[in-house]
A and B are shown apart, each in its own frame.
Chain A
Amino acid sequence: DAGVTQSPTHLIKTRGQQVTLRCSPKSGHDTVSWYQQALGQGPQFIFQYYEEEERQRGNFPDRFSGHQFPNYSSELNVNALLLGDSALYLCAVSQWGRTLGNTIYFGEGSWLTVV
């Protein structure tokens, strides 16, 4: 059990709206990454946070932004929602700086539907 909590689990939004998704890692995991998984596809890396800074970013537009808090929890914000943003959004946690044995654990995800 990775102990990663994501909220909300399901939500429906209208095109043009904004959404905020939340992730709380279990103790000891200080690095949070977000992935988008469209139906029938593998997860795609959005960005990664450590020490409250964005460290890496995938090929996603600026409509996707994030934040990490001092307690390591994180938020993913998506502005001006498009139908194509409908997906499962997964939070992944790990420990920064460990080369060997750095397993990445995932939460159950937030299912976003844009109508």
Chain B
Amino acid sequence: AQKVTQAQTEISVVEKEDVTLDCVYETRDTTYYLFWYKQPPSGELVFLIRRNSFDEQNEISGRYSWNFQKSTSSFNFTITASQVVDSAVYFCALSLLMDSSYKLIFGSGTRLLVRP
């Protein structure tokens, strides 16, 4: 069975602190994709990053960085020097290639509150 676990329900930090959001996934497939989405109060899921199962290279994009480790089935997300605008719910998702398209399996989300 495929599953995504985000054990941190809510995290509260003070502005400028670094924060890491954890994501652990389960799948028996060898080909899969992992995603992170941000959901502000408006409801729209904003795409942040996509990583395929054959690419374990970590990535940095501005204040965001991602650490993908297949050995521990984890795909963690770090925000450096957090800002109030980073406050949102963050979802990790697992995608399986099925019939040339994808279905996303989401974790339960981590609510991040960045206080001024």
Contact = CB atoms under 8 A, between A and B. Distances in A.
Given A2-B47, A42-B91, A102 B42 contact: no
Contacts of A31: 101
B101 A106 contact: no
A108 B108 contact: no
Interface of B: 4, 33, 35, 37, 42-47, 50, 52, 91, 93, 95, 97-109
Contacts of A94: 101-102
B97 to A, nearest CB: 6
Contact of A102 (B43, B101, B108): B101
Contacts, number: 73
Interface residues of A, number: 34
A81 interface: no
Contacts of A40: 108-109
A33 interface: yes
Contacts of A92: 45, 104
A92 B100 CA distance: 16
Interface stretch (A16-24, A48-56, A64-72): A48-56
A72 B43 CA distance: 23
A96 B37 contact: no
23 contacts: A41-B109, A42-B93, A42-B107, A42-B109, A43-B104, A43-B106, A55-B99, A56-B99, A56-B103, A58-B103, A88-B43, A90-B45, A92-B104, A96-B101, A99-B97, A100-B52, A102-B33, A104-B47, A106-B37, A106-B45, A106-B46, A109-B43, A109-B44
